[in-house]
Amino acid sequence: MTAEKQQTEQQAKRPLRADTERTVQAILEAAERVLATNPAATMEQLARAAGVARTTVHRRFATREALLDELTGWAARQFADAVDTARPDAAPPLVALYQVTANVLRVKTDWSFAMNRAAEDAHLEAARIHAEVRATCVRLFRRAQEADVLRPDIDLDWTRRVYYALIHEAAKEGAGGGDADALATRVVDTLLRGAGAPIGLRGNREFEDRL
């Protein structure tokens, strides 16, 4: 990690005054809006979108890269909060699964640029948070399996990866204005019921011969 990244992450952990925190949040929200449509936007454009002077942005973020790093960390923290708010280790598994899905979809659509950057960039805080969320997801799926929400013979790692892929596709649809609750219902329904007809593959001789 570079000295600049270390300084950025240390600054992110320091408590901010309320007015400073509001300014930082306004800058980050504006940066997300602008960069989602124009990833090459300059600091001046980001400052203008946030309604602050360029010097104000530079006072908090020495460079454009420092701002992007904080944006990535900020989105990751929103992601973790979205999962935690759904009480995945305490709420009934099916309720938690739906609520986690809806909450995460809201973050992924509101912070699409930063969330995509977190997946591509070597940001230590974001990587740690995403690893913790993966562990939470595995625990939730294990609880769902124990509660007979998921089949007892299911491969949990495969199921988690399928679930992530469904969320990814739903988030892309949500970016066009889709309702997070409706999309969450679609994701969970697809995960638990699949796309097969009610009779499934029963009676399909060719498939049964392969089992």
What confidence tens digit (pLDDT) does each residue in 154-211 have?
A: 999 999 999 999 999 999 888 767 799 999 999 999 999 887 765 555 555 554 554 4
Reduced to 3 states (helix: H, G, I; strand: E, B; else coil), residue 62 is coil
Residue whose tokens read 């020495």? 62
- In order of 7, 10, 18, 19, 120, the CA distances from 3 in angstroms are 6, 10, 27, 27, 20
Contact 101, 188 (CB under 8 A): yes
The pLDDT value recorded for residue 117 is 80
Residue whose tokens read 């960069």? 35
The pLDDT value recorded for residue 211 is 46
Question: How big is the CA angle at 75 (ends 113 and 10), to the nearest 5 degrees?
Answer: 120
Q: What stretches in the chain show pLDDT beneath 50?
A: 8, 12, 207, 210-211
The pLDDT value recorded for residue 195 is 76
Contact 66, 26 (CB under 8 A): no
Q: Which two tokens stand for residue 24?
A: 């930082």
Contact 71, 125 (CB under 8 A): no
> Which backbone phi and psi does 88 adopt, to 5 degrees?
-65, -20
Contact 140, 100 (CB under 8 A): yes
